[in-house]
Amino acid sequence: MERKPPVPLCKSFVVCRQIMQDMASKEFVILGPTHQIVSPVFPMIGNLSFFAQSTSMQGAYILELQLQDMDANVLWRHTFEPPWEHHDPLKIAYLSLQNLGIYFPKPGKFDVVLVANGEEIARTPFWAQMPPPE
């Protein structure tokens, strides 16, 4: 039986508009961190990016990003290929997921959840809203 790698410890998880990486320093630049999206119509697809830092990783991890309602029902999911691999549990692993089309069925409060090998490693609240009336 193959040993399952340890669950990563996610130190940060940010929803944003865009992520860039400096070619020389390899540092990430996070543009437009956000907790909400506004649309005049629903359902809609929001273009968002996600940044995470994790440690305690030792192996390959199949990642899934989910949008859940407040009853923990999964409304949207995306599984990433190839698996996220990191083999030094003492170092920080960086994850940059860019320009994903997230399906929002209606306005409301949701949770964006990052899952690795079937285990939740990060969760953050996110609101989809209609513009305020004029």
Give 52-82 pLDDT, tens digit per residue: 999 999 999 999 999 999 999 999 999 999 9
Residue 31 reports pLDDT greater than 70:
yes
b/e per residue 5-33 (b: at least 16 CB within 10 A) = bebbebeebbbbeebeeeeeeeeeebeee
The CA distance from 97 to 65, in Å, is 10
**Mean pLDDT, range 94-98, rounded to an integer:** 93
Q: Give residue 111's domain range.
A: 9-129
The CA distance from 103 to 93, in Å, is 27
Q: Answer yes or no: is 63 within a domain.
A: yes
Q: Answer yes or no: is 76 within a domain.
A: yes
Q: What is the pLDDT of residue 1?
A: 58
Q: What is the pLDDT of residue 3?
A: 74
Q: Answer yes or no: is 134 within a domain.
A: no
Please, what is the average pLDDT of the chain? 94
Residues 40-53 pLDDT 10s: 999 999 999 999 99
Give 2's pLDDT tier (boundaries 50, 70, 90).
low
pTM of this structure: 0.92
Q: Answer yes or no: is 3 within a domain.
A: no
Per DSSP, 133 falls in state P
Number of domains in the chain: 1
Name the more confident of 9 and 2: 9
CATH assignment at residue 85: 2.60.40.10
The CA distance from 44 to 128, in Å, is 9
Q: Answer yes or no: is 39 within a domain.
A: yes
Q: Answer yes or no: is 4 within a domain.
A: no
Let me know the angle formed at the C-alpha of 34 by 55 and 92, rounded to the nearest 5 degrees.
10
Q: What is the pLDDT of residue 36?
A: 97
Q: Answer yes or no: is 119 within a domain.
A: yes
Q: Answer yes or no: is 1 within a domain.
A: no
